[in-house]
Chain A
Amino acid sequence: MVIQKMEQNESMVKRGWWLILLLAGAIIAPHVISDFYLVILIEALIMSLFALSFNLLFGYMGQLSFGQAAFYGLGGYTVAMLITKVNFNFWLSLLAGVGVAGFVGLIVGFFCVRLRGIYFAVLTLAFGQLLFVIIYKWHDFTGGDDGIQGVFPPGILKIPIVYYYFVLLVFIASAFILWRIVNSPFGHTLKAMRENPERTEFLGIHIARYQLITFVIAAAFAGLAGALWVPFYRSVAPFYLMWIKSGEPVMAAILGGASTFFGPVLGMFIMTFIHAYILGFTHFWPIIMGTIILIIIFALPGGILEFAKVKLKERQERMKSAKGSP
């Protein structure tokens, strides 16, 4: 345990320099890349936040939610409806999006944390579909399958590059908060529950309560992602809540590596950029996404970051043994 802790600290120091590098890259990026890729970059950042919220449940709590898009969509719908219907303040709308997603997450989570494994996945999926169906069919209130158009951010946020920096700021702040959560005693308790729920319960920890809190946090951050996305695209549609959408963060986590904090971000960036590239010459995106999933699962078990970690470790060990032998 102590050794593990030391290794963690060591890797955190190592991690420091490339985080700074990434940050510098993210700040310079919009001045270097074309407008088209700036849009994609904003998409990737927002979707990465969505993926991080999902991985709090999947990677740390150990439960796969197939209904995370419902909270993402709820965040988006809250912002869209507040801005277009009652001309509400943009910043407060964002907060309201987070709040609504978190509140619905509390209700849905109340049912879902009673179950584990595949049952948890199906139940989250079913609740997600329930929310989708309500928004899809409630035409008078939500606009039904037409969605809502004309959701504009205020003032200079209409300029993509400004919106980019705004999203970047929110992303960094959110990632930092999530990072702090998973590395706090609370986060360690989560991991303990994932590894051995019975033993954790014997220690006097109320598993359902911890999981419910986590579920609400994840829902709130998914809502934040949706709330950021909708003003950028000026519109929202019911399919944002659908289970097919919920599959995207699942895929990003598996692609990048669910056992690492930034794995889902890497996965989402790869997916978003491949998506943008492929849409240039075909609209058959699902078949390509499906094929990528199959390749990743069979060729790169554990995801890219995990794969890289294992390779790196192998190399270090090789070098160690090479040094050891005369």
Chain B
Amino acid sequence: MSFDILFNQFMSGIARASLLFLVASGLSLTFGVLRVLNFAHGSLYMLGAFVTYSIWKGLLIPVVGFYIATFLAALVMGGIGIIIEFFLLRRLYARGWPEQLLVTYALVLIITDLVKLGWGGEFLSIPRPVPFKGAVSLFGFPFPSYNFFVILLGLALVIFLWWLVYRTRIGDIIRAAAHDREMVAALGIPIPWLFTWIFVLGAMIAGLSGGVAGPYGAIALGMDIEIIVECFAVVVIGGMGSLPGTLLGSFIVGQVYAFGIMFKPELALAFIFMVMAAVLIIRPWGIFGRPER
């Protein structure tokens, strides 16, 4: 096998890893701070994709229409995030995590049907936006230039989240709250509001990545479950609630998928889970994870 094929596969793995990071980072952030594993994160991503489609279709603005639609969809998802956190999750923090998990599972079911009701069961697609319409040649192989946009956006999100978590006062509070909630509350910081905004941020990231996923693949029912299961693999490999872990996990899963598909397409997903099992034997809490207390 020649180098150029491998490099091409590597690059498509990077693009996939980037999209995975976009989605998984929101999941990981929410888990890290709220200690709530949001099953419905993939559903927010799917809803984001459908909302982006509708706004894009309604706006009919050439060139920038898609970008505006994605941005607006992220805001809409943020609004839905407020509703979910404020009316559902907030009332469950005192109860056990199984109830929280089940509530987000209920949301998966509800959002699936809402999407079915609102948009029908058809496949929708958004054409790749300017200036990422065509393909560039990588060692003679065509590589969709939109993938570069996804990669760049992933990098931008890495930098933004790193800045937010490690370089701001909010970030100090986030890290402290992830470590010891009571102590942070005792210092007079309103934990409930912090939780709301973190959840909203996670939901907005989900919406944004859903919008970005539109031109990357197809917009269809079932994309929620497809992505959330891969995201679980990402956070389990990297360590739940860890930002560097999510980044590394996305990279691993993206690459394993890209090379797995070349090797044996029908088992590409199975390879991901095998890698996950291997990581878990060595480090049950993921590469960057902490043992639960």
Contact = CB atoms under 8 A, between A and B. Distances in A.
Contact of A118 (B97, B109, B117): B97
Interface in A99-147: 111, 114-119, 121-123, 125-127, 129-130, 133-134, 137-139
Given A111-B281, A119-B285, A122-B236, A284 B116 contact: yes
Contacts of B117: 284, 287
11 contacts: A114-B280, A122-B235, A123-B280, A126-B232, A126-B236, A137-B270, A247-B109, A286-B110, A290-B105, A294-B88, A301-B99
A250 B277 contact: no
A287 B113 contact: yes
A220 interface: no
Contacts of B92: 297
Interface in A248-281: 250-251, 254
Contacts of A287: 109-110, 112-114, 117
A298 interface: yes
A291 interface: yes
Contacts of A237: none
Nearest to A297: B99
Given A137-B267, A293-B103, A294-B88, A126 B109 contact: no
B103 A297 contact: yes
Contacts of B225: 242-244
Contacts of B165: none
B233 interface: yes
A289 interface: yes
A138 B105 contact: no
Most buried by B among A114, A137, A301: A137
A270 to B, nearest CB: 16
A126 B102 contact: no
Contacts of B240: 118-119, 122
Nearest to A140: B266
A122 B103 contact: no
A290 B106 contact: yes
Contact of B292 (A119, A125, A298): A119
B284 interface: yes
A224 interface: no
B95 interface: yes
A64 interface: yes
Given A117-B292, A294-B88, A129 B273 contact: yes
Interface string B272-283: 011011001100
Contacts of B88: 294
B37 A129 contact: no
B55 interface: no
Nearest to B273: A130
Interface residues of B, number: 43
Contacts of B276: 126
B285 A291 contact: no
A122 B284 CA distance: 12
A274 to B, nearest CB: 14
B229 interface: yes
Interface string B72-108: 0000000000000000100110010111011101111
A190 B88 CA distance: 32
Nearest to A254: B102
A165 B272 CA distance: 43
A64 B280 contact: no
Interface in A278-309: 284, 286-287, 289-291, 293-294, 297-298, 301
A254 B98 contact: yes
A64 B108 CA distance: 18
B98 A64 contact: yes
A298 B285 CA distance: 31
Contacts of B97: 117-118
A293 B236 contact: no
B173 interface: no
Contacts of A250: 98, 102, 105
Contacts of A117: 97, 292
A66 B102 CA distance: 10
Given A286-B109, A294-B106, 13 more contacts: A64-B98, A111-B281, A121-B101, A126-B276, A127-B273, A127-B277, A137-B267, A137-B270, A244-B109, A247-B102, A293-B103, A293-B109, A297-B103
A134 B264 CA distance: 12
A119 B276 CA distance: 13
B44 to A, nearest CB: 15
Nearest to B281: A111
Interface string B202-216: 000000000000000
Contacts of B274: 130
Nearest to A110: B281
Contacts of B285: 115, 119
Contacts of A116: 292
B37 A121 contact: yes
Contacts of A133: 269-270, 273
The 9 closest A-B pairs by CB, nearest first: A287-B113, A130-B273, A290-B109, A293-B106, A286-B109, A290-B110, A137-B266, A290-B106, A133-B269
Nearest to A282: B113
A234 to B, nearest CB: 26
A138 B112 CA distance: 27
Interface in B181-234: 225, 229, 232-233
Nearest to A66: B101
A286 B102 contact: no
